Amino acid sequence: MVKIAIAGASGNVAQELLDVLIASQNHNVVLLSRKVGPVSNRATGTEWIQADYNDPDKLAQALQGVHTLLCFITPQSDPGNVAQKNLIDAAVKAGVKHYAPSEWASSSFEHMPWYAGKAEIRKYLSEINKHGKVLEYCLFQAGMFVDYLASPYKTSKHIHPFQTQFDFNNRRAIVLDGSDDARISFITAKDFCAVVAKAIEYEGQWPVVGGIRGDELMVGQLVTLGEKIRGKFSVEKVQAADLEAGVVKTTWLPKADHPAIPADQVNKLAAGFVAGMLLAISVGALSVSDEWNRLLPEYHFTQAEDFLAEAWSGKP
């Protein structure tokens, strides 16, 4: 049993993982959040701390005895990465063994400016270890939650499904012309949480890059799969030159009403978000490596087709 701390504990993904950690009854869990009061009623073995991310000394006190620190602070809520950098400094001061920065998605951030903060944190972690390891960390990368493709239906307790350019509900898709062979890694929320929980208990050294590949499909295969499960798709193809100019010539745009995006900004950001995602997919940013698959070979992942066939079974 080790002591775990979760920063940004009120977020959807953090909540999903927290349920798994509590159910295992293997760890004591410290929840760090700017919010006052508990996220919800929690089982014995959890401790709530209202965190002041502007005070590294107080953070270090809160992290005393913590073995593994997982960060779910989103770049959008942390201008200049002040909170996460202070958290990292506090982790070093407190002697934390393992740190997982706020990654949890893509292998690179090309064409995705909303992830610029993640790139800066990668550089910060590399810099503090350049003269010798002072903090063992892992960049957990899992690609895209396949749960999003079940939108508007929920397939997990906390993950909020939102519309993407692969809209199974309305049987339509927006794809970049010539990107049929581009790869996207998918994982279920359940598998993601299970693997991260196993990684916490892993006794070997954490890899710096920690890809978790649940399944992987090419764009063309994904559209074909959508048609197999849901029927004929209406596919609109866009051009890279238009996307790079910030123009999306389509009859519809997905509304990514993600909790990290203010409600009044969803429509305003829609074109830029879909353009960035399509270009990012074309350069492999959503295709992740398989380090944790190889370190945990006994774990069997749910395949995207099986998950989606079940998720859409009986749906109109």
The closest of 70, 49, 44 to 197, measured between CA atoms, is 70
pTM score over 0.85 = yes
Radius of gyration of the chain measured on its C-alpha atoms: 20
> Which residues, 6 or more positions from 72, have their beta carbon under 8 angstroms from its beta carbon?
6, 7, 8, 9, 11, 13, 14, 102, 104
Q: In which band, very low, low, confident or very high, does the pLDDT at 65 lie, cut at 50, 70 and 90?
A: very high
| 3-class SS of residue 77 | helix
pLDDT digits (tens, 9 = 90+) for 44-59: 568 888 889 999 999 9
Architecture per CATH, 3-137: 3-Layer(aba) Sandwich (3.40)
pLDDT digits (tens, 9 = 90+) for 277-289: 999 999 999 999 9
Tell me how crowded residue 152 is: count the other CB atoms within 10 A of its CB.
9
From residue 183, how far is each of 107, 134, 234 by CA, in Å? 12, 35, 20
Residue spans per domain, the chain: 3-137, 144-184+215-285+302-312
Of 7-11, 239-243, 258-262, the range with the highest mean pLDDT is 239-243
- Taking the domain 144-184+215-285+302-312, which CATH number applies? 3.90.25
Tell me how crowded residue 231 is: count the other CB atoms within 10 A of its CB.
8
